[in-house]
């Protein structure tokens, strides 16, 4: 074990900052985030009866779900460590199948409205027959599908840095 002149043990290793490819990692994460954003927009384009343009709500503006999907990245120490997706809040309601008169309870969507039976409601824009709310999971399954691809890419980029980091020793 090496000791410096001040008496503090010296930790040395066979790795250097050159082994860690921050630029390659940032590029891979940025490309992945853009690809996921594009696929999310493709998935939400199937919602035919959504909002058209912008709607004024008390205290906020509400846009079409497809147009509202954005991805943001955050860096710490020069490396992207966070990807955030933002979208209109009604996207969560669509994903879970909840909304006015419906809520999640025990993993199931149940009707909670105190008004008349849903089968006696007036016809709506989707046809003459009332239908129950069903979850339309458009967000989580896509992430479950694409995250392993990102993990493999990052492992490939940083394999040398990980291998060299295991060779560190106290001298």
Do 42 and 66 touch, CB atoms closer than 8 A? no
Beta bridge partners of 57: 60
Is 87 contained in some domain? yes
| Residue 108 located in a structural domain | no
Residue 130 lies in a domain: no
5, part of any domain: no
Q: What is the pLDDT of residue 170?
A: 59
Rounded to whole angstroms, the Cα distance separating 27 from 115 reads: 53
Provide the β-strand partners of residue 9: 3
pLDDT at 152: 94
82 contact partners, CB below 8 Å, separation of at least 6: 73, 74, 76
β-partners of residue 169 are: 12
Domain count, the chain: 1
Residue 126 lies in a domain: no
CB 171 within 8 A of CB 1: yes
pLDDT digits (tens, 9 = 90+) for 119-168: 555 555 555 555 666 778 899 999 999 999 999 999 988 887 777 777 76
Q: What is the distance between the alpha carbons of residues 71 and 60, in angstroms, rounded to a whole number?
A: 21
Asked if residue 152 is part of any domain, the answer here is yes
What is the structure's pLDDT at 51? 64
Q: What pLDDT sits at residue 34?
A: 97
pLDDT tens figures, 45-69: 887 666 666 777 788 777 788 888 9
What b/e readout covers 44-79, taking b as 16+ CB neighbours within 10 angstroms?
beebeebbeeeeeeeeeeebbbbebbebeeeeeeee
Instruction: Find the domain containing 83 and state its range.
Output: 23-46+55-97+135-170
Report yes or no on 7 lying in a domain. no
Domain assignment of residue 88, yes or no = yes
Backbone angles phi, psi at 3, to 5 degrees: -120, 130
Per-residue pLDDT tens for 17-47? 455 788 999 999 999 999 999 999 999 888 7
Whether the Cβ atoms of residue 19 and residue 164 lie closer than 8 Å to each other: yes
21 vs 79: CA distance, rounded Å:
9
pTM for this entry? 0.68
Q: Please, what sign has the CA dihedral across residues 22, 24, 28, 34?
A: positive
Q: What is the pLDDT of residues 72-124, one digit of tens each?
A: 999 999 999 999 999 988 787 777 777 766 777 777 667 776 665 555 555 55
């Amino acid at each position: 074990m090496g000791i410096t002149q001040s008496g503090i043990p010296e930790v040395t290793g066979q790795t250097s900052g050159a082994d860690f490819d921050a630029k390659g990692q940032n590029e891979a994460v940025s490309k992945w985030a853009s690809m996921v954003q594009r696929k999310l927009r493709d998935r939400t384009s199937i919602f035919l009866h959504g909002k058209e343009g912008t709607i004024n709500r008390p205290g906020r503006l509400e846009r079409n779900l497809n147009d509202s999907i954005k991805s943001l990245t955050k860096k710490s120490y020069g490396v992207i460590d966070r990807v955030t997706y933002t979208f209109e809040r009604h996207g969560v309601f669509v994903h879970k199948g909840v909304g006015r008169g419906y809520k999640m309870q025990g993993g199931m969507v149940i009707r909670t409205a105190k008004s008349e039976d849903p089968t006696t409601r007036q016809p709506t824009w989707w046809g003459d027959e009332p239908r129950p709310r069903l979850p339309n999971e458009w967000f989580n399954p896509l992430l479950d599908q694409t995250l392993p691809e990102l993990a493999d890419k990052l492992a490939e980029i940083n394999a040398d840095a990980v291998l060299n980091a295991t060779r560190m020793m106290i001298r």
